[in-house]
Amino acid sequence: MAIENLHNFLHDFFIANQCTIKENKDGILAIKLTDKMDEYIMNRPFYWQYIKKIGQKGDPGSITFLTDPRLEEKEAEIIHFGSPRLQQIFRLVKDQGKSVRLYQQLAVQQQTALIPWLILNIKISYIGKQKREEIKSIGIHMINGAMLDNIMDTINQISWHNTIPDYCYNLSPLIRLKNSYQRVIHYLEKDLLEKQHDWALESWKFMQEEKKLLDYFYQSDAADQLVHFEKESAAIEDLYQPRITIDIINGGVFHISQSTSSSILEGNV
């Protein structure tokens, strides 16, 4: 996770989770937590279990972070890259960020339709003698089926929110979520099949050479030797047999105005 400014990241994270910022100045960030965020990060499981059991309203806590280790503040927690607290927040971001539903922020005074797009961030791993990873973002217009590669670069400048703007309404997708997902994966697989994969051929040849060398050392028919041979042969295949894996990092449905959707497809955003 690439973060240029830890203080700003934490500020945006807690705002996005409906927490109240009590103090925000260079190196110091004080937050009043929500019930949910207190339960996530304050390590008070028995308190919240009790509150839920008796049906009472909880009293979420506050926390103050020092993002500048040169400062001193009583009862403040120093947070930095590598600290357990930050790793805890990273895990929460990852869990929360698996799927989202976002709406383009618009200031309109008339009824405006929003078009659903399914957008997936995908990791492609090329595994063999040499390992390489590639990150792709692919979006599909869930009304007409148009697809766009590297869409995150295109929509990066659009403002988003998790609630629909006033005077806006969602169009129902003509291509359902499952079919949209399948179309994106099919598009990706087709693209991979059409590419040249010299790395795979090189890795396959290397694997065969390693297996020939293994055959040379294991020429005995003894049962114990055969067991070792099979294990080492499987290990060679695991290391060098070329394969491609596709993993979904995260994704979501983004509701975008008709005019912006047209601009996206025309490359004018």
Q: What is the pLDDT along the chain (269 residues), one digit of tens a residue?
A: 444 578 888 888 888 788 999 999 888 999 999 998 998 888 888 898 899 889 888 899 999 999 887 877 778 898 887 789 888 888 887 777 678 889 999 999 999 999 999 999 888 999 998 888 888 899 999 999 999 998 988 888 888 888 999 999 999 999 999 999 999 999 999 999 999 999 999 999 999 998 888 887 777 666 667 778 888 888 998 889 999 999 888 889 999 999 999 999 887 76
Q: Are residues 39 and 151 in the same domain?
A: no
Q: Quick check: 118 and 102 in contact, CB under 8 A? A: no
What pLDDT score was predicted for residue 110? 94
Q: Are residues 10 and 140 in the same domain?
A: no
| Global pTM exceeds 0.85 | no
Asked if residue 43 belongs to a domain, the reply is yes
Count CA atoms closer than 13 A to 265's CA, side-chain side: 14
Q: Are residues 147 and 251 in the same domain?
A: yes
Give the residue numbers spanning the domain of 225. Answer: 198-241
Q: What is the CA radius of gyration of the chain?
A: 26
Closest-CA residue to 248 (of 103, 137, 144): 137
Asked if residue 61 belongs to a domain, the reply is yes
Asked if residue 78 belongs to a domain, the reply is yes
Q: Are residues 138 and 224 in the same domain?
A: no
What pLDDT score was predicted for residue 43? 85
Cβ contacts of 244 within 8 Å, gap of 6 or more: 124, 125, 126, 127, 192
Q: Given 55, 80, 96, which residue is the final one in a domain?
A: 96
Q: Are residues 131 and 255 in the same domain?
A: yes
What is the spatial distance between Cα 187 and Cα 175, in angstroms, rounded to a whole number? 15
Q: Given 49, 68, 96, which residue is the final one in a domain?
A: 96
Q: Are residues 121 and 18 in the same domain?
A: no
Q: Given 63, 96, 129, which residue is the final one in a domain?
A: 96
Domain count, the chain: 3
What is the spatial distance between Cα 91 and Cα 89, in angstroms, rounded to a whole number? 5
Q: Are residues 146 and 255 in the same domain?
A: yes
Asked if residue 85 belongs to a domain, the reply is yes
What is the spatial distance between Cα 115 and Cα 260, in angstroms, rounded to a whole number? 9
Q: Are residues 217 and 182 in the same domain?
A: no
Asked if residue 1 belongs to a domain, the reply is no
Q: Are residues 180 and 207 in the same domain?
A: no
Q: Are residues 70 and 84 in the same domain?
A: yes
Q: Are residues 258 and 137 in the same domain?
A: yes
Asked if residue 70 belongs to a domain, the reply is yes
Q: Are residues 114 and 64 in the same domain?
A: no
